[in-house]
Amino acid sequence: MASQIFLNGTFVNREDAKLSVFDHGLLYGDGIFEGIRVYDGNVFKLREHIRRLYDSAKSILIQIPYSQDEMPELVCETVRRNQLSSAYIRLVVTRGNGDLGLSPYLCPTAQVFIIAEQLNMFAPSLYENGIKAITAATRRNRTDALNPKIKSLNYLNNVLIKIEAHAAGANEALVLNSEGYVVEGSGENIFLVRDEILYTPPAYLGALEGITRATVMELAAELNLTVKEEPFTRHDVYVADEVFLTGTAAEMVPVVEVDERVIGDGRPGAVTKKLHKAFQVCTRRDGVQLYSKEEIS
C-alpha cells in the first residue's frame, strides 16, 4: 500500500503529496519540524515532541493551524492510516506560500504535513559494533544567530557536517561550538562515560535539547548513574571510556573511534549497553499507545 501522508487537513497518496515552489519552507528553510518514532505501537514521548514543536513555532512566530491538543491525534492517525507499528514520523510545519521576498507576513497560512515511514539511520551492525566519527571543521550555529534549540527547517549547517563525515569515510561527525567545546553530532546529542560517570554538554553551548538525551538522563538516574551536564573538549572525548550518540532517528548508537583515536577498548561499553537495554524498554512504554491490545493480538 502506498503511504498516506497528512497534508493540510487531508490524507493524500505519497505521489500526490506536493507543496508549491513558493512555500517559504523551501525558499528559505522557514519552518520547523519534529522527528518522532513509533516502537511496537507506542508513539514514543509524543507529548514532548509536540511541546517542542510548539515552542519552536512560538519562537519564530509561526501560527500552527491546529492546537497543541489536536496535533497528537493527527500524528497518531497518520500512523494508523499506514497500519504501522514501528515507524519514523516526520512532522513539518512550513511558513506557507508567499512571494519571492523574505517577508513572512505575506505567507498567510502555515502548511502542515506528516509522513510516517521506515528509517534506519545506520546499518544494524553499527549499532552492535559502534560507529566511527570525526570532528567536523564546520562549527555549530551560534546560539545568538540561529539558536540550535529551535528545530527549524534550516539544516544546512547539519548537512555540511554530514558531508564532512562522509568525505572522511566516517559514519558521523562531532560538532564544536565557536569556543571549541564539543556540542553534539550532526543530528544527535552526545554522551561520554568516564569512570562510570556520564557527561553531556549543557544545551546552552548550542545543542538541541534532545528528547532522547532527556530520556537517557532519566534512565541513568533510575540506574543510579551520575550524569553531569558539563562542557567538554575533544580531548575529553578521546580519553573517555565510552561515547555514544542519542537521537530519535539515530536512537542510541555507540561511538568506538573519533579522529583515529580508539575509544576505550574499541567496543561498545558496559554503561552504554546497560542504558541501551533500559532505553528499549522505555521506548515501548513512555508515550501514546496507538492500538488497543485486541488490535495487536
Catalytic residues: 151
* Residue 269 binds ligand PMP, judged by CB under 6 A: no
* Residue 172 binds ligand PMP, judged by CB under 6 A: no
Q: Which is nearer to ligand PMP, 191 or 264 (CB)?
A: 191
In 3D space, the residue among 116, 118, 33, 39 whose CA is nearest the CA of residue 80 turns out to be 116
With beta carbons less than 8 A apart as the criterion, state whether 6 and 14 touch. no
Q: Which is nearer to ligand PMP, 37 or 95 (CB)?
A: 37
* Residue 31 binds ligand PMP, judged by CB under 6 A: no
Choose the stretch contacting ligand PMP; rule: CB under 6 A; options: 16-24, 106-114, 208-216, 274-282.
208-216
Which residue in 24, 95, 132, 213 binds ligand PMP (CB under 6 A)?
Answer: 213
Residue 31 C-beta: closest distance to ligand PMP, Å: 14
Sites for ligand PMP among residues 50-69 (CB under 6 A): none
Q: Which is nearer to ligand PMP, 97 or 248 (CB)?
A: 248
Residue 97 C-beta: closest distance to ligand PMP, Å: 26
SS (H, E, C) the chain: CCCEEEECCEEEEHHHCCCCCCEHHHHHCCEEEEEEEEECCEEECHHHHHHHHHHHHHHCCCCCCCCCCCHHHHHHHHHHHCCCCCEEEEEEEECCECCCCCCHHHCCCCEEEEEEECCCCCCHHHHHHCEEEEECCCCCCCCCCCCCCCCECCCHHHHHHHHHHHHCCCCEEEEECCCCCEEEECCCEEEEEECCEEEECCHHHCCCCCHHHHHHHHHHHHCCCCEEECCCCHHHHHCCCEEEEEECCCEEEEEEEECCEECCCCCCCHHHHHHHHHHHHHHCCCEEECCCHHHHC
Choose the stretch contacting ligand PMP; rule: CB under 6 A; options: 2-10, 124-132, 207-215, 286-294.
207-215
Q: How many residues bind ligand PMP (CB under 6 A)?
A: 14
* Residue 143 binds ligand PMP, judged by CB under 6 A: no
Which residue in 35, 98, 130, 206 binds ligand PMP (CB under 6 A)?
Answer: 35
Which residue in 130, 206, 210, 264 binds ligand PMP (CB under 6 A)?
Answer: 210
Residue 219 C-beta: closest distance to ligand PMP, Å: 13
* Residue 242 binds ligand PMP, judged by CB under 6 A: no
Which residue in 23, 30, 188, 242 binds ligand PMP (CB under 6 A)?
Answer: 188
**Residues in contact with 182: Cβ distance below 8 Å, sequence separation at least 6, in sequence order:** 135, 174, 175, 176, 190, 201, 232, 233, 234, 236, 237
* Residue 248 binds ligand PMP, judged by CB under 6 A: yes
* Residue 152 binds ligand PMP, judged by CB under 6 A: no
Residue 10 C-beta: closest distance to ligand PMP, Å: 27
Contacting positions for ligand PMP (CB under 6 A): 35, 158, 184, 187-189, 208, 210-213, 246-248
